[in-house]
């Protein structure tokens, strides 16, 4: 039963902000620990609200690191606004923009415009870290042993760090509870240390994985598809379980760009290879074909045969229409094939199911609706 699969997957990616489970190993001891005095926020600019130069005694603070391109960060903004309103006068929420340069050119004005556009959905204090010096990021995130965003820190009335972690997914309840405890002056430091240790292990695995994956990413950025295939094969041998699905989809898209016929043969051959699918964690048909569909669908300029193959593999598995994530893939592939009516029908079902689930962040549902609007506009409908 794969009900709510996408939400679980989305929450996992939100918590990690990377693909793959990372590498096992003992994370180094963080420099900033639960119970330590919280560092100052030496921001490059204060975009919204009054600058916080020091932490006032008796006042509680939430410091969250975010970026405009980060979907989970956007999903968290309304809740942070609610917390600020709910505890006005006792709590100050501070959103610190960081890691902006990873997906865009970091410009103060563009970030400020983003904040203005958010309006009441971002109704709390906002600052921007220096994207080159990373002063605030290093003092809080790096020192605390974290990297993925959003990451939230809670500072109690004595200026101590009493909680840090991801504010969505499994830790959502712990985050809200930590704020309530800090406001009551009864923070559970031992529980917070357990969560920090988990964050440290996840971060260490992620950073180690980034080193391993860097040659593959470099080849992708160069558009050197032959080098992508070489690097994917290297990783498939060295770390098949950690990077199986990602390496498979990356190699697939490279092969399709080099020789579409060879790429199609690769997909069909691996679909019949039980040992390969077990080794890479793609045992069941849904995980295999959704991986193929996702990889193929996001690539522009492929031949019709590639999009048709992915759609044919996925379509029978969503006949019941019970999983909105897979329906979005069906819609995307139909769009690539020029079949906008079918794309619209699948996307309409996806929007309805995502809305009815009551679990997906509004930002995600809105993105689905925007995609549907685009399909309809290009099909000559309003």
DSSP notation for 136-151: HHIIIIIHHT--SSSE
For the beta sheet containing 60-66, the strands, ordered from the edge strand earlier in sequence to the opposite edge, are 45-48, 125-128, 91-97, 60-66, 151-155, 161-165
* Three-state secondary structure call for residue 185: coil
* End-to-end Cα separation, the chain, in angstroms: 36
Model confidence over 13-54: pLDDT tens digits?
A: 333 333 333 344 566 788 999 999 999 999 999 999 999 999
pLDDT at residue 281 is higher than 90: no
Mean pLDDT of 223-239: 84
Q: How confident is the model at residue 241 (pLDDT cuts 50, 70, 90)?
A: low
| Weakest-pLDDT range from 97-101, 223-227, 240-244, 266-270 | 240-244
Mean pLDDT of 50-76: 94
DSSP notation for 86-101: HTTTTEEEEEEE--GG
pLDDT at 381: 61
Mean pLDDT of 246-254: 87
How far apart are the C-alpha atoms of 145 and 165, rounded to whole Å?
A: 10
CATH topology of domain 5-202: Glutaredoxin (3.40.30)
Q: What is the residue whose two structure tokens read 């897979």?
A: 326
pLDDT at 23: 40
Mean pLDDT of 137-156: 95
Model confidence over 196-227: pLDDT tens digits?
A: 999 988 887 777 766 777 888 788 888 899 99
Q: Where are the beta strands (DSSP E) in the chain?
A: 45-48, 60-66, 91-97, 125-128, 151-155, 161-165
Distances (CA, A) of 79 to 93, 114, 167, 278, 286: 11, 18, 10, 40, 33
Neighbouring residues of 65: CB distance < 8 A, sequence distance ≥ 6: 95, 96, 97, 98, 99, 137, 140, 141, 149, 150, 151, 152
Give the predicted TM-score (pTM) of the model. 0.64
């Amino acid at each position: 039963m794969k009900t709510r699969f996408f939400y679980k997957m989305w929450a996992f990616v939100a918590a990690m902000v990377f693909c793959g489970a990372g590498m096992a190993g003992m994370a180094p001891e963080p420099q900033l620990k639960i119970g330590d005095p919280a560092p100052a926020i030496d921001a490059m600019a204060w975009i919204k609200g009054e600058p916080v130069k020091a932490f006032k005694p008796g006042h509680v603070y939430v410091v969250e690191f975010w970026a405009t391109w980060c979907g989970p960060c956007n999903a968290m903004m309304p809740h942070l606004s609610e917390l600020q309103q709910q505890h006005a006068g006792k709590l100050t929420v501070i959103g610190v923009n960081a890691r902006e340069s990873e997906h865009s050119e970091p410009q103060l004005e563009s970030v400020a415009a983003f904040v203005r556009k958010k309006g009441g959905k971002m109704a709390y204090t906002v600052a921007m870290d220096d994207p080159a010096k990373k002063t605030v990021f290093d003092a809080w995130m790096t020192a605390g042993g974290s990297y993925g965003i959003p990451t939230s820190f809670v500072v109690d009335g004595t200026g101590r760090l009493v909680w840090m972690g991801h504010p969505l997914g499994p830790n959502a309840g712990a985050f809200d509870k930590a704020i309530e405890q800090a406001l009551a002056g009864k923070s559970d430091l031992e529980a917070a240390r357990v969560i920090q240790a988990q964050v440290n292990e996840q971060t260490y695995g992620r950073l180690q994985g980034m080193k391993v994956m860097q040659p593959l990413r470099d080849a992708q950025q160069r558009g050197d598809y032959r080098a992508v295939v070489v690097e994917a094969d290297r990783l498939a041998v060295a770390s098949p379980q950690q990077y199986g699905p990602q390496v498979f989809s990356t190699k697939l898209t490279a092969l399709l760009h080099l020789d579409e016929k060879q790429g199609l043969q690769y997909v069909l051959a691996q679909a019949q290879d039980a040992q390969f699918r077990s080794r890479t964690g793609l045992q069941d048909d849904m995980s295999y074909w959704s991986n193929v569909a996702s990889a193929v669908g996001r690539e522009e300029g492929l031949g019709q045969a590639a999009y048709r193959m992915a759609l044919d593999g996925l379509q029978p598995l969503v006949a019941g229409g019970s999983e909105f994530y897979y329906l979005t893939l069906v819609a995307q592939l139909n769009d690539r094939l020029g079949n906008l009516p079918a794309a619209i029908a699948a996307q309409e079902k996806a929007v309805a199911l995502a809305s009815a689930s009551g679990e997906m962040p509004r930002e995600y549902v809105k993105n689905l609706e925007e995609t549907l609007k685009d399909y309809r506009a290009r099909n000559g409908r309003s």
